[in-house]
Amino acid sequence: MCDSSGRLVAWMDRELAENEAAVVEQHVRACEQCQKLVAAYEEVSRGFAAHYTAATRSVISAETSRKWPRFVPVLAAAAAAGLLLLALLPRTVKPSPVVPQVMEVRPPITSEPQSTPVEPVRGRHVVAHRKAPNQDREMAGPAIQIAIPADSMFPPGAVPEGVSYIANLSLTDGSVQAIRLQR
């Protein structure tokens, strides 16, 4: 029995280290017995592969009968998701320009306007109260009330008895700009 006979299959399979393979190769070239063994091992190796392939041939042919392996739809779905994501996303992202923050200079607030807190109404949208356009103007400045007899302004019988009006006058530069009657 040769020293190299225990490594012939590994040598055939190119599994030996380079220096070890060189030693075995040199021996096989010189040893007729090992050459026969190598030939026999190659033959049974080919025979085993043929036997193995023949034994499993039916599975390979049956495999083609399956329409959609489960793996394929998963890949297809993954690829579709990727494409969709690619299509939805912009190709480039434009960074938003840097705008220097400029503080708006406002006059100092000397007094906060008194506002009545708005109670939220259940089941309804809460809308912030808006002041009437002329509310500020009406409230601005001292209110002057002048009592004018109705008889002097309206024809007799036009105003029911017991009803009086308050006239709000809007004054600008000492002259009356508007008169508003309030019952």
Partner 1 sequence: MSGDSFPLNLPLPRFATDSCEATYLYRELRKPLLRYLTGLGLSADEAQDVVQDAFLSLQKHLAADGSQQDIRSWLFRVAHNGARNYQQSYTRRMGEPLDPVFDAASSAETPEQAILAEEKFHRLDKAIRLLDAQERKCLMLRAEGLRYREIGEVLGIPTSTVSDTVERAVKKLAEKCNV
Question: Which residues lie near partner 1 (CB under 8 A)?
Answer: 6-10, 13, 15, 37, 40-41, 43-45, 47-60, 62-63, 66, 69-71, 74-75, 78-79, 82, 85-86, 89-95
85 or 102: whose CB is closer to partner 1?
Answer: 85
To the nearest 10°, report the CA torsion of 118, 119, 120, 122: -150
Six token digits for residue 7: 């490594």
Give the nearer residue to partner 1 in terms of CB position, either 79 or 143.
79
Place of tokens 């109404």: 121
- As measured in angstroms, the least distance from the Cβ of 27 to partner 1 is 16
Q: Minimum distance between the CB of residue 15 and partner 1, rounded to whole angstroms?
A: 5
Q: Which is nearer to partner 1, 17 or 126 (CB)?
A: 17
Q: Smallest distance, Å, CB 100 to partner 1?
A: 18
Q: What b/e readout covers 137-154, taking b as 16+ CB neighbours within 10 angstroms?
A: eeeeeeeeeeeeeeeeee
95/111 Cα distance (integer angstroms) = 42
Measured from the CB of residue 101, what is the shortest distance to partner 1 in angstroms? 21
Closest CA to 113 of 136, 80, 92, 81: 136
